[in-house]
């Protein structure tokens, strides 16, 4: 049976708890918020949830005050394919936010909601910290993707997200317009070898050169397969102006609707 945390001196029977027991500091950066979660969890490697199919997501503990009952509840949250699932962990009753976050992580571990830290000695990453950073680079729903989708949606365009343009081909595009047959890929500068911003890694240099070159070759093959099927392929670098990229996508969709027999690859 999971022990109940020791109550603070203030039982909160007559007034709400002090905001310092649950509320985060205003104006803090995302990096500071992440560092706070790392400390509470006992390390960045202890913040992963297993999504299945070899995928993981970085989780956070969120504290919420219930004004009517004067109780603080802890929830575990993470991101998965555009959704933000949450699991209720329990009530926490310490007088400080740091202790309540730590208690939330303890409850999450006790309920088996978290994935064990990766201690694989054969990992290419030189340290647990590097592994954490690399896992934090999401394969989907990145910030550039979300910005592009938001602009397209605001322009009245409707599309599918993270979909295979060709059902029989295992290639997934970030934004897909099935009727117009337009597939959009938003490429990260590092992982796809951007000619302007890619810089070779200093550690495990040969491994990364081969890795990035394989990614480039796969991108070229993907473009060819989709274009050969009569689709238009558009690739957007993460550093590009999102507004201009959205306009380029909209023009391509309009052109394909007017002349669907044409297939093109836009770099």
Walking along the chain (267 residues) 10 residues at a time, the average pLDDT comes out as 42 71 85 92 90 85 87 92 88 90 91 74 47 52 88 95 92 95 93 84 76 93 96 94 96 88 61
What residues contact residue 173 under an 8 Å CB cut-off, 6+ apart?
162, 163, 164, 165, 183, 184, 185, 226
Instruction: Report, at the CATH architecture level, how domain 137-266 is classified.
Output: 3-Layer(aba) Sandwich (3.40)
Amino acid 116: pLDDT: 78
Amino acid 227: pLDDT: 95
Q: Which of 200, 45, 203 is nearest to 124 (CA)?
A: 203
Give residue limits of the domains in the chain.
19-110, 137-266
Amino acid 121: pLDDT: 40
Is-contact 133 45, C-beta < 8 A?
Answer: no
What is the pTM assigned to this prediction?
0.51
**CA 145 – CA 163 distance, rounded (Å):** 14
């Amino acid at each position: 049976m999971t022990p109940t945390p020791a109550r603070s001196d203030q039982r909160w029977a007559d007034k709400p708890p002090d905001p310092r027991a649950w509320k985060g500091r205003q104006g803090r950066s995302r990096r500071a918020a992440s560092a706070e979660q790392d400390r509470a969890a006992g390390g960045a490697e202890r913040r992963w949830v297993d999504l299945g199919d070899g995928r993981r997501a970085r989780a956070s503990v969120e504290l919420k005050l219930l004004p009517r009952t004067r109780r603080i509840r802890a929830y575990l949250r993470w991101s998965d394919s555009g959704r933000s699932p949450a699991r209720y962990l329990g009530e926490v009753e310490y007088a400080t936010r740091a202790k309540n976050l730590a208690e939330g992580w303890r409850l999450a571990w006790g309920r088996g909601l978290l994935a064990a830290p990766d201690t694989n000695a054969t990992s290419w990453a030189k340290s647990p910290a590097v592994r954490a950073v690399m896992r934090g680079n999401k394969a989907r729903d990145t910030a550039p993707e979300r910005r592009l989708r938001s602009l397209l949606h605001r322009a009245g365009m409707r599309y599918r997200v993270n979909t295979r343009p060709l059902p029989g081909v295992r290639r997934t595009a970030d934004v897909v317009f099935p009727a117009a047959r337009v597939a959009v890929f938003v490429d990260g500068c590092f992982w796809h070898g951007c000619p302007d911003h890619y810089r070779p890694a200093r550690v495990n240099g040969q491994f990364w050169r081969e890795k990035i070159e394989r990614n480039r070759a796969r991108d070229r093959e993907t473009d060819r397969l989709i274009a050969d099927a009569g689709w238009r392929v558009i690739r957007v670098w993460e550093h590009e102006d999102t507004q201009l990229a959205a306009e380029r996508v909209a023009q391509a969709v309009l052109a394909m609707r007017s002349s669907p027999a044409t297939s093109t690859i836009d770099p």
